[in-house]
A and B are shown apart, each in its own frame.
Chain A
């Protein structure tokens, strides 16, 4: 509370960016966790709540109606308040700047967010997504893959999870040796196993090969990965970086695998740019989204020069390559970038979505993020800037993953159990800090912070609200749902995701939603089914007793199409 210089300002105007006439006047309150704008028009009490942890920028801006305060949010909301008194504005500005940049873990919202939930219930929340059962679902351990104790207490790699699957033939010394030859000790380990043909997607960081260094254990490790796929005599090694970046890394003693030193590998670059390029690209794209009344040319040229869709395409192209290798050729793939927690997470998880129908379900998608992002140490703290820190570490890597999945849902409307709202909600909470899942950069940090004891899990929250997130077109037995997805990555197949980046600009979205409509119809259908089945039961019952009229009148309550409830 000590950061709030001014808890309340009256006569504040919240500007509407598109139509200034629609601006609203009200009172702005600052609380420990939120800014709250309460519209003071008589009769209506319209509230706008903005979580401090979602604010990524506060600035003063001169506008036609006076000096205003502009709030940029991590969920792409943009708010502009006109505050009459310069001094008040300054106080709010300074307060918000401090409130939106927590300096210690203790200030994060998840530690203050305390829904009325008992301790055992909280543990059940955290147990909802369990990676051990996920590996079991994949069919592991088996004759080819084993659970390795090597990273217990995070001794080999402090950014890896403690439980990892490695090839059956990989001995502890081989793993230890290989890990010394890889950045941050991130040795090759299993990400996804295809039980149909034994091909696997493995991940690691770059080898410390420099210009000529070799490591026997690392070579043996890759050999072990190759052997764990008995039907294949080759292993693909995919370096997701552009070749130039990888070459530059050699000068720093890092680099990529030399095909000559490893037996039976095929090496391939994929050309996904680094976190800095991605950060700048998104920034440029957002500038385009924020244009007040752009022409079509402004928009398309801005989108082109931001390069954003090009990067999305690069990630999807890489994932398609891997999915094809695994599903069609039955070849295992080792994926890495530099540290193996950004591009590698993107590519492995998108490939998994393509390969495995389970990851296209609500639960499976949560499991996938838990596995390839959270457990493998994607640095959410740094990438999402949860605590005030180095701006150069911030990058929308997870945004790109969610967008790739969204692009796939556009191409395969029946293949996903979840809808766009699900992706947007996950995005929102990755940045909101309301749940503990995305706090800390890796498993070790989360254990130190006792996240499971002190915070709540997003996954069980999403699960208990799953009715909102179901795609009405999804059917488990639909042909699109089965098997591997083979998307087109022709440029015109990529769309601008206005649902996320222009999420708060209500005007640009369709005025009626097919999905909402279908959802209502399906709900009504379920009611009808219930009624018909209860009718059958009563009918059977009736056979023995015709005098019982109670149940019968209850059979069919009034039912009329209720799905005509659209916007206007």
Chain B
């Protein structure tokens, strides 16, 4: 077993654990292939059970013969382990370092994890494109499900089944794929039942510097327009960025070749900029100085809230085109797997009440992120503390969750799930016992045999006790389009993620419990009244004397 080689010291006694808002614990530290465990062995309860893959960075400090390891986690928590003995400390540190940066996916914990719960519904089968298509079919006959990508040869990052306009055959799709970045030809993202308008997404067109065109591409996207109607292309890049992309073979749709489409540019930043922003934000939140100026300055300089605003604004724009202007929309950036997905998925949250339910939101994450080929493995391999040079890491998905949280805060009764669900998805996207977020695309998931070898996060979430924990007690189905405010005053720092380990949430948790209590008590009384009413009705039918005149 390879892990054994990496574990130089499997056990150390007398280790002291320091965690935010919890009393320090002295106990035995154990390293296993996938976990760092600390137990006081007092009453056989584990005090700490930390996945190595959740470790973002470690620091060592020495004071005489006492060593300390500061463990910085991807969920942004920071813990400290005081380890007696220099050698032990060094051994543990190097083991953690090795175990938390394993390169091979097949050594990851999800492949070893066996569920301790009964799987009622296998999450790997919960959200199949076929089922989504059935829903679509019930609303419109203008789309078909194509298996042109069944062996991932047309587009590496798409799933085998995609919805495309009915009149476009697979050959055309193959041609279009050669004209779009990463082979990501335009596919259906969302159908707006209310007016039949659609949202599509794609990779950038490969126009290059000499304005290459592709008749099939034009035909494909025009096929989605009603006669005499114009559509909008939302390019998530600033104009100059889109222009610069031409030099590298990319570009954007020219007005001449796409006369029925109006192109709008928005400026959502690219991966590396977002990663830098996250690092700065987390650094600001962990700043121990008590200066207000410094805090506000660092918060501003992180630009995080600016990114949130840009993304939400663009999503609102897409939703507005569809719902208010009655126009169809094509969204793309460069690859069409990052900012594009932020926009298309948030626009659906705004437009489609179904996405605001627990199941519907899972479905959205599955369709618009996992099956749409957001490279989770690349983006989430490091979080805010890593000192290694960032490669492709970026909090693209975290920003999406943050935006959803902002909308949730503004419409606290319109979501079936609570903040806890969003935090849970953040945690599992970065480190998990489940296979859901492993790999970068559907092809990877097939190659790694994830459905066979790992458990799906959805299998765990969709059980009654988890659902109860994640359900928003205030939820009342709201069939309307919900337009969030993007004014800076309306955008808040997501405390549940960024201040989670910096300030005690006891009082806020108590308030949440109180709210649940108020609602449950009300339901209880309603049930009582209803049952009395039934009894009364029964009495009335049984006893003619009691009947009302």
Contact = CB atoms under 8 A, between A and B. Distances in A.
A524 B529 CA distance: 12
Contacts of A509: 485, 490
Interface in A286-341: 289, 293-301, 303-304, 307, 309-310, 313
Interface in A492-545: 492-496, 498, 502, 505, 507-514, 517-518, 521-522, 524-525, 528-529, 531-532, 535
Interface stretch (B34-42, B240-248, B513-521): B513-521
Interface string A204-225: 0000000000000000000000
Interface string B119-159: 00000000000000000000000000000000000000000
A549 B519 contact: no
A299 B292 CA distance: 15
Interface string B399-431: 000000000011111100000000000000000
A412 interface: yes
Contacts of A297: 300, 303, 306
B215 interface: no
A309 B291 CA distance: 10
Given A473-B515, A475-B514, A525-B518, A414 B490 contact: no
Contacts of A517: 412-413, 474
Contacts of B409: 510
Contacts of B522: 521-522, 524-525, 528
A529 B525 contact: yes
Interface stretch (A251-259, A364-372, A419-427, A550-558): A550-558
A478 interface: yes
B299 interface: yes
A514 B412 contact: yes
Given A553-B548, A568-B480, A413 B294 contact: no
A464 interface: no
A521 B476 contact: no
Contacts of B536: 552, 555-556
B300 A296 contact: yes
Interface in A366-397: none
A300 B526 contact: no
Nearest to B407: A511
B518 A521 contact: yes
A274 interface: no
Given A304-B297, A492-B493, A525-B522, A511 B482 contact: yes
B296 interface: yes
Contact of B507 (A480, A498, A513): A480
Contact of A296 (B297, B306, B482): B306
B306 A566 contact: no
B499 interface: yes
A549 B300 contact: no
Given A414-B507, A521-B522, A556-B529, A512 B488 contact: no
Contacts of A528: 522, 525-526, 528-529
Interface in B482-535: 482, 485, 487-493, 499, 502-504, 507-508, 510-511, 514-515, 518-519, 521-522, 525-526, 528-529, 532-533
Interface residues of B, number: 61
B503 A488 contact: yes
A302 to B, nearest CB: 9
A197 interface: no
Contacts of B292: 304, 307, 309-310, 313, 491, 494
Given A492-B295, A532-B525, A413 B507 contact: yes
Interface string A446-479: 0000000000000000000000000011010011
Contacts of B291: 310, 491
B107 interface: no
Contacts of A294: 487-488
B415 to A, nearest CB: 10
B305 A296 contact: yes
Contacts of B485: 507-509, 511
A549 B514 CA distance: 40
B447 interface: no
B482 A300 contact: no
B201 interface: no
B488 A566 contact: no
A490 interface: yes
Contacts of A310: 291-293
A63 interface: no
Contact of B488 (A300, A480, A513): A300
Contacts of A148: none
Interface in B14-35: none
A171 interface: no
A293 to B, nearest CB: 8
A522 B488 contact: no
Interface of B is mostly: helix
B546 interface: yes
A546 interface: yes
Contacts of A546: 545-546
Contact of B546 (A299, A475, A549): A549
A296 B491 contact: yes
A411 interface: yes
B309 interface: yes
Given A299-B488, A522-B518, A528-B526, A490 B507 contact: no
B459 to A, nearest CB: 32
B389 interface: no
Contacts of A301: 296-297, 300
B476 A511 contact: no
Contacts of A532: 525, 528-529, 532
Nearest to B495: A492
Given A295-B306, A299-B489, A510 B412 contact: yes
B532 A556 contact: yes
Contacts of B545: 546-547, 549
B487 A413 contact: no
A303 B548 contact: no
Interface string B61-85: 0000000000000000000000000
A293 B488 CA distance: 9
B285 interface: yes
B148 to A, nearest CB: 42
A353 B285 CA distance: 28
Contacts of B413: 512, 514, 517, 566
A119 interface: no
A464 B507 CA distance: 30
A44 B410 CA distance: 29
Contact of A508 (B309, B487, B518, B528): B487
A475 B514 CA distance: 9
B324 interface: no
Contacts of A496: 489
B546 A304 contact: no
Contacts of B285: 492
A403 to B, nearest CB: 14
A411 B296 contact: no
25 contacts: A295-B488, A298-B488, A304-B297, A413-B511, A413-B514, A489-B290, A490-B503, A495-B492, A508-B485, A511-B482, A512-B413, A514-B412, A521-B518, A522-B522, A525-B522, A528-B529, A532-B528, A532-B532, A535-B532, A552-B536, A555-B536, A559-B526, A559-B529, A566-B413, A568-B480
Interface of B: 285, 290-297, 299-300, 303, 305-306, 308-309, 409-414, 474, 476, 478, 480, 482, 485, 487-493, 499, 502-504, 507-508, 510-511, 514-515, 518-519, 521-522, 525-526, 528-529, 532-533, 536, 545-549
Given A522-B518, A531-B529, 4 more contacts: A297-B303, A473-B511, A511-B485, A528-B529
Which 3 pairs from chain A and chain B are nearest by CB? A491-B295, A299-B488, A413-B511
Interface of A: 289, 293-301, 303-304, 307, 309-310, 313, 411-415, 472-473, 475, 478-480, 488-496, 498, 502, 505, 507-514, 517-518, 521-522, 524-525, 528-529, 531-532, 535, 546-547, 549, 552-553, 555-556, 559, 561, 563-564, 566, 568
